[in-house]
Structure 1
């Protein structure tokens, strides 16, 4: 069966929730209201890798380095300079005169504490596996620190800059020692441009500008994050002036925003966010069979789904890998839509009558996420696979993933803002707490690649890993949607990037 464009648009309409957001517009001229599609639930980055959490954490904390969005070059931040002392020792000179929001001084002790905190077993950090290359941190003096790795590590600096998985933020050691880890998660303190004020769980988070920020006072004095999962409600609130910025604008509502005269749509094609319909082979006997997983890829007409539900604002990918990432393998083949072949492969694997499984997806976390999942249900049903689709709160889904209990089928996205294919380690390496793909050969290739300093050899190893991943098919298709933001006309935004950096914004 080939679903028509009308069928898919009907699915999208059914998936969109209606509603209105009733709240007063911002009273302060320098107060900005931001509508996120999912709630930020954990503000201790050591213990989360969730996108909504990262969106808020980005404003509160700093990293040692930053990265130029256009050139990819590393630039100073809390560190003013850095050098490779030997094959495994990186030395950083630190910015002096910087303080945390509570007045605690930023220094080498804070860096050492922050780096090693990610590796504390009791915190069960989702980043620990990615950062397992770190051996120790030596404090040379108050403004000099050496970070020592177990082996030469070619992408070390990536973790010192803004990215996502494995990004090391700098935290206040005395504050955490006095208040405890759980209190820190609820009342975070950093050196960033905004300080935490309050949170209403599942509803909102308020930040205020750090007037003593080392880069200067932020132009916007207050940031109000509001969690609005319904697409239509976010758009209505933007047009009404209740929200100044919204994320994940549905493609079918772009025209409504642009015609309103009150706001515009900002587009970013370079965030590196890649989505896929992940499979958990250990959770269902049929999914343990590679031929079944391949058959499921042939059963779903992903091209029609993406064209109908996301228009031209998406790129299909062979793997959940941003093609601009270092060591990303080019020209990998795509699974073709062939339901007859899918049925034959299922029969050959012993599932001629199909099978039944549960699938989970967020509703509003990603562009058209629920509608896309519904389309998967329709296509898989045509080859005899009955899918019970269950919408799930984003925080719950991520929590299940962190325990390898997601699935049997679930929709998830991974950001490649780090600019390197090594992100696959966090997503799919057998040792990762998030990985339901327990393939020893894949893990061994990654382990070799991450300690290989010669770029050509490293790319070769990563190429083999990506070919193996495509053949094993632990997911059903991958795609990279454009990031679509709605921004009120009064918002001056230098560059739409993911995550948003409020320090780069102003209000007209």
Structure 2
């Protein structure tokens, strides 16, 4: 294996970064960009996170992928120059020739196979293992050709791979990818101060196009007001999660610009069907009628959100059902259904909201609680840290009766999004067998029109059964400095290679 002087320098830089010290680097130009992240980066291991807006956004600068999703939300090749299904259960990837990591390891079919095998290895405990549950094997045809066999058709596999990044196999055997890196992408880590900032500089061994910026800074700024202040002070170039009420203020100030576009994230009240009285259909339907979704969109989001059409999917998703309509706001209908449900309305209904996680989520939760109280329910709000919320949801399996949360699936395919409500899925609290059978049927088909019909049936079933409290599609809000240009995107990725200097 070829070990370059650059590779040694990279390893030294990573070591110093983990220790919280700055590594010596050559003089930098003024071509830099600073991106504010709302939450800290928890790991640098690409197989141990599914967090697009933090971990994976940073990781995508350091490690390559077979394919990535561009700002136009379309797939484009990275290490893979082409990909196709050669039969119902086989995907073939043709790779670029000459790609390599900074230590000289080749990014070839063998390296990709090793990464897939690592994720499939149960002893590794990969966080993203569920994405590969249908993968039965990966086979090296030749150095630039890889075939992946699946146990049943997996038409969204290429889309899912846009979140799958590649580690160097030999390096990973003797290092800790959670907090060490060996770049195979356009940037490498210069400094990493956990919870505060990560600084990237170009990887001189990168095999692809030269990046536009000499320095990329990711700053961790959890508070919305602090992010806005940093943007207006010229300290950062991009912020996301801007409250819609601040968009006009930022634009009026004139030092930066702000806006909102539709996102692929749906906000919902997730029902815990395992806790009474949420096994009761009329009770669940009553809650959907009791909430004024149009009012929330208009008053809290200044009209920049979109009411959900009684489904988890937004129009951007494959499988979106255009025939469904939102439950109308009808408190009288809600009270009638509550009476018919036979539920004791004196019992307490807990609504859980993870703090500082969703755009104006706490405000929305207050409105939901107030409107449920107006139709006669006894409601309690519990605010909880996001990490504790995820532990309750996935490990303890003990969500409150209603959990206000946002869901998105970056494949932008019904197969991923809806599967979070399939029986047996770690996220599911519904356990509807008929819904699960429809999803199995949709996954088994490679016929586009047939899949659309199946997902139309699945979304209608979930709507009719009031599987959740369907709320709105969260707007993707952002503020950007005048130093850079950036095509806003609604799927949470924040990447310097999607940006360019304004001049």
TM-score (norm 2): 0.87
Residue pair 1:187, 1:196 contacting (<8 A) in 2 also: no
What residue in structure 2 maps to residue 303 of structure 1?
Answer: 294
Aligned-residue CA RMSD (Å): 2.4
Q: Does 1:213 align with 2:206?
A: yes
Residue pair 1:112, 1:138 contacting (<8 A) in 2 also: yes
* SS of residue matched to 1:46: coil
Residue pair 2:101, 2:206 contacting (<8 A) in 1 also: no
* SS of residue matched to 1:371: helix
What residue in structure 1 maps to residue 495 of structure 2?
Answer: 501
What residue in structure 2 maps to residue 59 of structure 1?
Answer: 61
CA distance in 2, matches of 1:437, 1:205: 40
CA distance in 2, matches of 1:330, 1:378: 30
Residue pair 2:131, 2:160 contacting (<8 A) in 1 also: no
Q: Deviations over 1:338-381 (max 9, x none)?
A: 22322332233332434213332234432211111111111122
Q: Does 1:240 align with 2:236?
A: no
234 and 415 in structure 1: CA distance in 2 versus 1, 3 angstrom threshold: same
CA distance in 2, matches of 1:387, 1:122: 43
CA distance in 1, matches of 2:311, 2:135: 28
310 and 44 in structure 1: CA distance in 2 versus 1, 3 angstrom threshold: same
What pairs up with 1:293-332 in 2 under 5 angstroms? 293-317=284-308, 318-332=310-324
Aligned-residue offset at 1:178:
1.7
Report how many residues are paired.
Answer: 471
Q: Deviations over 1:354-412 (max 9, x none)?
A: 42133322344322111111111111222233333233333333343333443332222
Deviates more, 1:85-94 or 1:305-314: 85-94
Q: Does 1:172 align with 2:173?
A: no
* SS of residue matched to 2:317: coil
* SS of residue matched to 1:118: helix
Residue pair 1:264, 1:486 contacting (<8 A) in 2 also: yes
Aligned-residue offset at 1:111:
0.6
Q: Does 1:75 align with 2:76?
A: yes
Structure 2 unaligned residues grouped into runs of 5+: 1-27
What residue in structure 2 maps to residue 432 of structure 1?
Answer: 425
CA distance in 1, matches of 2:208, 2:439: 38
56 and 69 in structure 1: CA distance in 2 versus 1, 3 angstrom threshold: closer
Q: Does 1:343 align with 2:372?
A: no
CA distance in 1, matches of 2:246, 2:70: 32
CA distance in 1, matches of 2:449, 2:346: 44
388 and 189 in structure 1: CA distance in 2 versus 1, 3 angstrom threshold: farther
Aligned-residue offset at 1:439:
1.5
The structure 1 residue matched to 2:460, chosen from 464, 467, 472, is 467
CA distance in 1, matches of 2:156, 2:384: 35
Aligned-residue offset at 1:247:
0.5
Deviates more, 1:320-329 or 1:347-356: 347-356
* SS of residue matched to 2:158: helix
CA distance in 2, matches of 1:211, 1:223: 15
Residue pair 1:126, 1:434 contacting (<8 A) in 2 also: no
Q: Does 1:87 align with 2:88?
A: yes
Residue pair 2:71, 2:498 contacting (<8 A) in 1 also: no
Deviates more, 1:118-127 or 1:318-327: 118-127
The structure 1 residue matched to 2:479, chosen from 461, 478, 486, is 486
Aligned-residue offset at 1:238:
0.9
Q: Deviations over 1:91-133 (max 9, x none)?
A: 2221222222444321112111222333232344454334222
CA distance in 1, matches of 2:413, 2:403: 24
What residue in structure 2 maps to residue 249 of structure 1?
Answer: 242
Q: Does 1:381 align with 2:373?
A: yes
* SS of residue matched to 1:249: coil
TM-score (norm 1): 0.86
What residue in structure 1 maps to residue 15 of structure 2?
Answer: none
CA distance in 2, matches of 1:412, 1:136: 35
* SS of residue matched to 1:397: helix
Residue pair 1:229, 1:363 contacting (<8 A) in 2 also: no
CA distance in 1, matches of 2:398, 2:63: 31
124 and 408 in structure 1: CA distance in 2 versus 1, 3 angstrom threshold: farther
Aligned-residue offset at 1:483:
1.1
CA distance in 1, matches of 2:184, 2:398: 35
* SS of residue matched to 1:169: coil
Q: Does 1:191 align with 2:193?
A: no
